[in-house]
Structure 1
Amino acid sequence: MLDIRFVRNNPEKVREALAKRGAAIDMGGYDALDAKRRAVISEVEELKARRNQASKEVAQAKRTGGDASAIIEGLAGLSERIKALDEEAAAIDAEVQDLLLAMPNIPHESVPVGKSEADNPVVRTFGEPTRFSFPARDHVDLGVALHGIDFERAAKISGARFAVLSGWAAALERALTQFMLDLHTRSHCYREVMPPVIVNTRAMTGTGQLPKFAADLFKLAETDYWLIPTAEVPVTNLYAGETLAAEALPLDHCAFTPCFRSEAGSYGRDTRGLIRLHQFNKVELVRFVRPEESYQRLEELTGHAEAVLKALGLPYRVIELCTGDLGFSAAKTYDIEVWLPGQNAYREISSCSNFEDFQARRAGIRFKEKGGKGSALVHTLNGSGLAVGRTMVAVIENGQQEDGSVVIPEALRPYMGGLDIVRPV
């Protein structure tokens, strides 16, 4: 959430930033509401001053034996008006809060201006796209033929956009998860946490999923509970309403969780295979950092996510999201896209973002220097490290052989009981 003082004092800057994002926010409506709020508060303060003065006059009249009845009668009218204005101010505050919750973050000055993903520049690449001397097959054909991925039985028990993994595929999902967690906890020093996958509305609001993206989420009927779309939600909110010790920063966590998304806005995209499921597994990286370090820490975090793909020998590229493609809460984002031979394209496998103090303000996460007088909002970062299902897709498609077998990356073989290749039966 943006700082209301910043919005009030820099209306043109906010308008320009939102215009770059293509955000349809009625700043005129906000301005009018904020002006009304300030007028009401000003009147309340004036009336309270008059009431205080009248109270002094009543006290003085009583001390001197004078008649204070007229003053007391006037006080009653003042109190009623103040009460009505206080209620009006509270209602306006709620409206202002709703408008602020609907405003996206302001892009960092380094973010390229653009309208869509077509305007996202490539920052760097790793490896060359995998090419074969035979027609490449996608992970669906390979996984089904190797009896590891079953969409028909998943549809029978759950519906479309679910998958059942068995045998080698189930083992590969588990191996990828453990490999990622080991890499991030041992090499990158993240502290592993295992949070709940059901959270309340306050937590969803704290990280920016609510109120804007309610249609993309799964809500448990007749409760205040939601299934998480990413571990970013519970892990970030571990420290909601807390003031952290400055010397503890950066505070780094990684978490493996299932994730749940209704994909209400996907409009039929990626209906085939494991790319866009309602339920999928992901290893998430979350960092709480000092404001002056946050962009350095974003570069580090992106490198940590890239390390997984490098270790697996998977070709990928890093792109920087332009203003028009930036996520709601993010000030700056790098997307990591892995090469998928079955689609002859790069596809997103991780988004690494700096939210600056946008989430921290919503969730109330601060830090304080030892011996210092005041506190400040932390900056929060997060990125997938990685989406496990999409990594499996990349392993299968890049490791395919002409006979339909799939070579397991060397880094995963210890996690697969030494299995080096999955062969057709």
Structure 2
Amino acid sequence: MLDYRFIKENLEAVKKNIADRNMKADADAVVRLFDRKNELTTALQALQQQRNTNAQAMKGKLEADVRARLIDEGKKLKDDIASMEAELAAVEKELDVQGRRIPNMAHPEAPVGKEDKDNLEVKRVGEPTKFNFEPKDHVQLGQELDIIDFDSATKVSGTKFYYLKNEGVFLELGLIRYALDILQKRGFTPFITPDVAKEEILEGIGFNPRGSESNVYTVEGEGTCLVGTAEITLGGYYSGTIIPKEQLPLRLAGLSHCFRREAGAAGQFSKGLYRVHQFTKLEMFAYCLPEESEKLHEELRSVEEEIFTGLGLPFRVVDTCTGDLGAPAYRKWDLEAWMPG
């Protein structure tokens, strides 16, 4: 969430960033509400000071008419303060709502665009395999090898779920161990994180846990959510904690189940294991000083490239365009593996 004063002092840049990201947010409303909040806060403090002065004056010996006048003034001040506190609370609530709609600023080098076709390819590794036969996709292979079962999962859990079975189980566990071994050698601390997080943790990380556009499953009546990524639980691990800069950077690797509603069109029309409601993921996460963030981001990218290269997968690296970035993201590298079928 951007600082309100930053939004006020960089209003045109913030509005351009909203437009570049193809998002709906009202930066002017945030500035207006921020100014009104400051006005009300100052006025309220003045009224509270008058109330204190009035109360102090009431402690001495007073003529009856003077005391009556002070009592009337005190009652009016009490009413005025209550009214102003109510208005201030309403303004602060609306400011929070509008402020959370403002996306993070994008990296100045992030390509401007609306969707994934506008992402900029910056690197390509390997060449797609050329077959002398018609290759099968992962859905066909998984069913014929009896390692993935979509039909039974649909019967039990609904669409866009799956069972892994037989060698598919060991394949996933082997891939997890393969990646964990690389990350541990790179100085990452391994975690298996909870699959549930409090709503305030999601909001603190920059995720929206509510509303029809949210990709998050909420736990009704509990104030908690199923996590869509271990980024949430790793980010919340040090919430409310001051980390001495001498201990930075901290590199964490979190393994978790991930749950996503995938309510949009992309999720609706995807096939097989793409954009499912539940999957297992190993997440890289780093705490660092702001001036080290780009260097650490490049390091994370290099680790991911090492993992892909070690598996012999042809892939490309893309610089994600502004319209395809999530609201909290500053910059994002995507590695896209080539797969047949």
Settle same-fold status: TM greater than 0.5. yes
Does 2:230 correspond to 1:194? no
Which residue, 206, 209, 219 being the options, matches 1:208?
Answer: 206
TM-score under structure 2 length normalisation? 0.92
Alignment of 1:113-262 (within 5 A): 113-186=112-185, 188-211=186-209, 215-262=214-261
Deviation of 1:45 after TM superposition, in Å, equals 2.8
Please list the CA deviations of residues 391-412 of structure 1 after superposition, one character each: whole Å capped at 9, or x if unmatched: xxxxxxxxxxxxxxxxxxxxxx
Q: Which has the higher mean CA deviation after the structures are superposed, 216-225 or 333-342?
A: 216-225
Instruction: Name the residue aligned to 2:77.
Output: 78
Pick closer, same or farther for the CA change 1:124–1:58 going to 2, 3 Å. same
Code of the aligned partner of 2:189:
R
Instruction: Name the residue aligned to 2:292.
Output: 293
Structure 2 counterpart SS, 1:340? coil
Structure 2 counterpart SS, 1:209? coil
Code of the aligned partner of 1:5:
R
Instruction: Name the residue aligned to 1:277.
Output: 276
Instruction: Name the residue aligned to 2:42.
Output: 42
Pick closer, same or farther for the CA change 1:190–1:266 going to 2, 3 Å. farther
Structure 2 counterpart SS, 1:216? coil
Q: Which has the higher mean CA deviation after the structures are superposed, 266-275 or 157-166?
A: 266-275
Deviation of 1:278 after TM superposition, in Å, equals 1.2
Please list the CA deviations of residues 100-146 of structure 1 after superposition, one character each: whole Å capped at 9, or x if unmatched: 11211111212122222222111111111221121121111112112
Instruction: Name the residue aligned to 1:383.
Output: none
Q: Structure 1: any 5+ residue segments left out of the alignment?
A: 343-425
Cα contact 2:196–2:224 (8 A) shared by 1: yes
Cα contact 2:107–2:331 (8 A) shared by 1: yes
Code of the aligned partner of 1:207:
I
Code of the aligned partner of 2:84:
L
Cα contact 1:102–1:212 (8 A) shared by 2: no
Deviation of 1:64 after TM superposition, in Å, equals 10
Give the Cα separation in 1 of the matches to 2:66 and 2:223: 57
Please list the CA deviations of residues 58-80 of structure 1 after superposition, one character each: whole Å capped at 9, or x if unmatched: 55x63999944323421221122
Please list the CA deviations of residues 12-51 of structure 1 after superposition, one character each: whole Å capped at 9, or x if unmatched: 2211221211221123333332333233223223323433
Structure 1 counterpart SS, 2:338? strand
Give the Cα separation in 2 of the matches to 1:86 and 1:32: 18
Cα contact 2:198–2:223 (8 A) shared by 1: yes
Instruction: Name the residue aligned to 1:336.
Output: 335
Give the Cα separation in 1 of the matches to 2:315 and 2:132: 21
Give the Cα separation in 2 of the matches to 1:267 and 1:120: 16
Pick closer, same or farther for the CA change 1:268–1:334 going to 2, 3 Å. closer
Please list the CA deviations of residues 131-171 of structure 1 after superposition, one character each: whole Å capped at 9, or x if unmatched: 11211211111121122222222222222212122221111
Instruction: Name the residue aligned to 2:315.
Output: 316
TM-score under structure 1 length normalisation? 0.75
Cα contact 1:117–1:322 (8 A) shared by 2: yes
Please list the CA deviations of residues 289-323 of structure 1 after superposition, one character each: whole Å capped at 9, or x if unmatched: 10111011100011111111011111111100121
Q: Which has the higher mean CA deviation after the structures are superposed, 160-169 or 311-320?
A: 160-169
Code of the aligned partner of 1:155:
T
Give the Cα separation in 1 of the matches to 2:142 and 2:311: 19
Give the number of aligned pairs: 340
Give the Cα separation in 1 of the matches to 2:24 and 2:75: 45
Instruction: Name the residue aligned to 2:31.
Output: 31
Pick closer, same or farther for the CA change 1:305–1:211 going to 2, 3 Å. same
Pick closer, same or farther for the CA change 1:266–1:206 going to 2, 3 Å. farther
Does 2:7 correspond to 1:13? no
Instruction: Name the residue aligned to 1:303.
Output: 302
Structure 1 counterpart SS, 2:332? strand
Identity of aligned residues (%): 34
Root-mean-square deviation (CA, aligned residues, Å) is: 2.2
Instruction: Name the residue aligned to 1:345.
Output: none
More strand by share: 1
Alignment of 1:56-67 (within 5 A): 57-58=57-58, 62=61, 67=66
Structure 2 counterpart SS, 1:258? strand
Code of the aligned partner of 1:14:
V
